[in-house]
Amino acid sequence: MALEGANVPSVDQRDRTVPINLRQSGRTPVELLISTRIRKSPYWELSHQAGCWRAEVYNRMYHPRGYVRPEDGGAMAEYASLVHDVTLWNVAVERQIQVVGPDAEAFVDRVITRDATRISPMRARYVILCNEDGGILNDPVLLRLSAEEFWFSCSDSDLLLWLQGVNVGLGHDVQIREIDVSPVQVQGPRSADLMVDLVGAEVLDVPSYGLMQASVAGLDVVVSQTGFSGEKGYEIYLRDATLHAERLWQAVLDAGERHGLQVIAPAHHRRVAAGILSWGQDMDVETLPFQVNLGYQVPKEGEKAGDYIGRQRLEEVRAELEAGGTPYTHQLVGMRLGGRPITDYAPDFWLISGGPEDDPDGYVTSPWWSPELETNIAMGFVPVDRAGPGTRLWVHLPEDYAETPGVPVPAEVVEMPFRPSVNPNTREALRERATDAS
């Protein structure tokens, strides 16, 4: 007998080995036990002192997810600080994996799809790593410190184990290990002014995805002009972080006092508006780059001399797409949607239908309210034949956000990003170059 009800996924995912769990079960009604197997970052106690009242687990580490209480404005009050002033984020969960040695460039070039030989020392790039089936294993920011040293600033997966395992087969002369480096992010329109006070005016010469060595409170750090917000922003990578976290944190607070600095959680509402993906939420190991608008990360003929893991499969998929085929069932799109303002994290993948009475065939991955656009916005997976801009959809929101309980709200597929970024991501920059050239 076929099972029916809320705990049975209802969306066709025949192209996946393990379907996305679409159990619409709402918020977890139990206390989550956190033991010593979940790490506390060097900044965790400092985050708690700054008002952090909730967290999740990311990269097996506590990850702050809220400082302003709901009764005081919650996540949207934090959003206001980000887009108007300057904010400090504890992002130690971006664990740093160092690849160092004579063969570092050759090894990194083999595991990322982009051409590592074109990354100069003291520059960074947004990259992806894929498995042999073309699935995205991780989408880190890759920092190149020198000719023989790279850092993967990784998202939420066991990238260290993958890299070490790959090199068992490749046998490159490199050392691969996690290092005691923990970043914080300084994000917002006043971030450059704060950083000048913190490390000096030379930081203004650091380009987007550029790096500089600096000193903060006598501590050695690496500064990058990067971030997870789409706003002007920087990351500060602290060496020997378990020893010196307090000194760095206090130095940033002191420098930020005259700039209106606020400590907030990583602003997922702003990254959605910027069209920035979150691994594990908008994509995973069974997602092809072409499904999530990352096709530009897959080299075309002549763009990369060296081989890379996943190349054969990704070239096959590209050829099928260019021939008009559909090698996968769903595509990630941006949507504007109705309903009450979504001002907090979604605990479920809310379902999407082609019509108000149709069976669901898609799902939302990242929804939020946009104050600038005065509407809810979201990313989500829909059938490929309904992924075009202007397509009408219907989203099944929970009672907290539905205009009428049990009745889906209208939505429309739109282009991403939803609003321009001060620090455009690579996809935005490439689109702008193509527009300028036309």
In the Cβ-directed half-sphere of 255, how many Cα atoms lie within 13 Å? 23
Alpha-carbon distance 282 to 287, whole Å? 9
Q: How many other CB atoms are there within 10 angstroms of residue 321's CB atom? A: 16
Q: Rounded to 5 degrees, what are φ and ψ at 16?
A: -110, 150
Q: Rounded to 5 degrees, what are φ and ψ at 404?
A: -130, 120
**The pair of three-digit structure tokens given for residue 349, joined into one six-digit string:** 């993948």
Q: Rounded to 5 degrees, what are φ and ψ at 161?
A: -65, -40
Token pair 């069974």 is at which residue?
A: 286
Q: Which helix (H) or strand (E) holds 334?
A: strand 330-337
Do 425 and 139 form a contact (C-beta atoms < 8 A)?
A: no
Alpha-carbon distance 77 to 62, whole Å? 22
- Residues contacting residue 146 through CB under 8 Å, at least 6 positions apart: 121
Q: In what order do the strands lie in the sheet with 175-178?
A: 123-126, 141-146, 149-153, 96-100, 175-178
- Burial code (b: 16+ CB inside 10 Å, e: under 16) for 381-407 equals bbbeebbeeebebbbbbbeebbeeeee
Q: How many other CB atoms are there within 10 angstroms of residue 336's CB atom? A: 17
Q: Are strands 123-126 and 141-146 parallel, antiparallel or unpaired?
A: antiparallel
Do 269 and 80 form a contact (C-beta atoms < 8 A)?
A: no
Q: Is 235 marked as binding a ligand?
A: yes
Q: Which residues carry a binding-site annotation for substrate?
A: 235
Q: Which residues carry a binding-site annotation?
A: 235
